[in-house]
Structure 1
Amino acid sequence: MLAYDEQHGTDAANSLEAFLRCRRSWQRTAAALNAHKQTVMYRMRRVEQITGRVLAQTSDLADLWLALQAGELLDGSGDLDSLEE
């Protein structure tokens, strides 16, 4: 997904991260991204197409969440202190 974003000038990874942070609420995600609810829904469909995952499937959702968490840890933006607790 990151490669897709880079190649196409999109922001699917950040949209997905916001969607998950907002507990999969279309309205809260739209407000967080300053976008329309339909735009968020379109972006999440694109995430599904890009990744081959289904956001309604728990195992797929877990995979995507774990991938985002791993990416944050690898780029240094994750909260490593929370791992020590």
Structure 2
Amino acid sequence: MQKSIAQLRIGEKGVITEFDCNLIPLKLIEMGCLPGNEVVLLQKAPLGDPLFLNINDSNLAIRLEMAKDIFIEISEE
């Protein structure tokens, strides 16, 4: 099932499938936000923004608006 990172539940995993390079900052791409890399939602801030993620063993926080533009395929485990 494909959805955006913003739709993940805490602890849920997925593999990045696509995103628009014009909407995602270069720094995020350099930190491993690339198609084929695994992403896990670790935490959400109390009001839901930002999201704390683990992407290919790198922990980072991204804004909810940015997470809506990164699409993943959910890992069935």
Q: Which of the two has greater helix per residue?
A: 1
Q: Which has the higher contact order (CA 8 A, sep 6+)?
A: 2
Please say which structure displays the higher CA radius of gyration.
Answer: 1
Q: Which of the two has greater strand per residue?
A: 2
- Give the TM-score normalised by the residue count of structure 2: 0.28
